[in-house]
Amino acid sequence: MRQLDDKTRIGALLLLAFTAVYALLARRIPVDALDDGSGMTSQSLPFGLVALSVVLATIQLVKPNADRRPFLADHRALAWRPVAFLVLLMVIYAITFPWLGFVVSSVLFLWLAFFGLGAATVWRCGVVSLLFVGALWALLTQVFGLYLDPGALMAWAGSVRT
């Protein structure tokens, strides 16, 4: 059991577990009938990532490691509060996304994340969040032509106005 006391091997096992789930979900991606004879389909990139992840995780598992410090000794001194804060913020982001839409929920997420992690003042965090999300929105909608849902509240507010 000494093999599992190494942080790189634990990380490699976690990567393999994540890759297995990702591979199962990648099989569910529909392939367009017109792409059937093509070398590249909608499943090509996900399965390429699966293959790369398996190779890298296997290398980490079999590679000898000179640093034999216990796994928990390296992780007790880490700052877990910011991690918990960001995880909670991501859960809130996922919940608010359908209601507030891409722009509003992303700006709020970034603003709270920047400010909560002590990046700068409230004003600076807000400006950076607005500029970043605005640029990302412009790139996705104007350049790539993607539709980003404005959210249920914006759709409701638009229907109330008319």
Tens-digit pLDDT profile for residues 58-79: 998 888 766 666 656 666 667 7
Structure pTM?
Answer: 0.59
Average pLDDT over residues 15-21: 93
pLDDT digits (tens, 9 = 90+) for 30-43: 877 766 666 777 77
pLDDT above 90 covers a percentage of the chain that reads 38
Q: Helices 80-116 & 152-161, crossing angle to 10 degrees?
A: 30
- Report the pLDDT value the prediction gives residue 86, as an integer from 0 to 100: 93
- Report the pLDDT value the prediction gives residue 1, as an integer from 0 to 100: 46
More confident residue, 153 or 55: 55
For residue 69, give the nearest of 77, 79, 80 by alpha carbon.
77
- Report the pLDDT value the prediction gives residue 2, as an integer from 0 to 100: 54
Angle at 60 between CA 56 and CA 63, to 5 degrees: 125
